[in-house]
Structure 1
C-alpha cells in the first residue's frame, strides 16, 4: 500500500460553490473525487497534482442523455452514474441549449467566429446523438429547434 502525501489542495482546482458528492478509490489505490458541478478529479502520482477526469463531452454534460447502462462499470463509471441529474435539471439544460441555438441564429461574430459557423457545429453535435436530438424537438412543429 502506498500513501499519498501532498500539499496540493483540490480546492485550487474546483469551483468555489462546488460540494463534494462522492469519494472513491480505484483498485490501484488512486483517489477519485466527484463534485456537485459534475467534475471528477483524480490525483496523478507521476505529476504530483490533481487532474480532471472527463469522459463526457460538454454537450452530453449539458443534456445528460447517456443512459446509465452505457457507462463503464469501473470506479469512474460508478461516479458518472451517481452524478446523473434529475429530470428538472435536464429540462433546464434543454432550455439553455435552445436559448444558445436561438442566440446563434443572429448575425455577427462570437470571439471572432461567425455565429452561423458555431451554430452549424452545435447542430452537428446534437444530430450525432439521437437521444439529445429527440429531446431538442420543438413542440409546435415537431421538427428540430434548429
Structure 2
C-alpha cells in the first residue's frame, strides 16, 4: 500500500496534550503513537498532524516508518501502532488552521494526503455554492456570488480584477 493518508490526532488534556505541555514530553514521542488503528491502514499513513480542538493544527510530521505494532492483548483490545516521525515542512501551511477533518468524535481521523498538499483539484458544487482547495487555500463562492477565501496564516494574498469587456 502506498502512503496516501494523513492521520489527524486529536490532542486533548486526556489524550497527549498534558504530556506535552505539563510533563514536557517531546511532541514526537506523543504523536508517534500507540494509536488504535488498523495495521494494514497504518502502512498507508504518510503524515501525522496534531490537532488541538479550539486551536487547530499545532504540529505536523512525516512518517518515516513504523517502529512498532502491538497486537491486541488483555490490556488493549485493538492493535496499537507506533510511527517514526520527522518534521514535515510541507505541512506548515496547516499550522494554526482548523482541522481538515472537521469535528470528530474519536482521537484519530484521516484525510487524503494529496488533498492537504495539493488541494482537491476539482470544484465541489452544492446548493450552497462552489468550493475548491488548492495548496491549502480554500475558495468558496456562495449562491449569491460572494467569494470567500481562507488562506493559511502568513500567506500573501494579491487580488487582481479584470474589467468586463463585453
Q: TM-score, normalised by structure 2?
A: 0.24
Higher strand share: 2
Higher helix share: 1
Q: TM-score, normalised by structure 1?
A: 0.26
> Which has the bigger relative contact order, CA under 8 A and spacing at least 6?
2
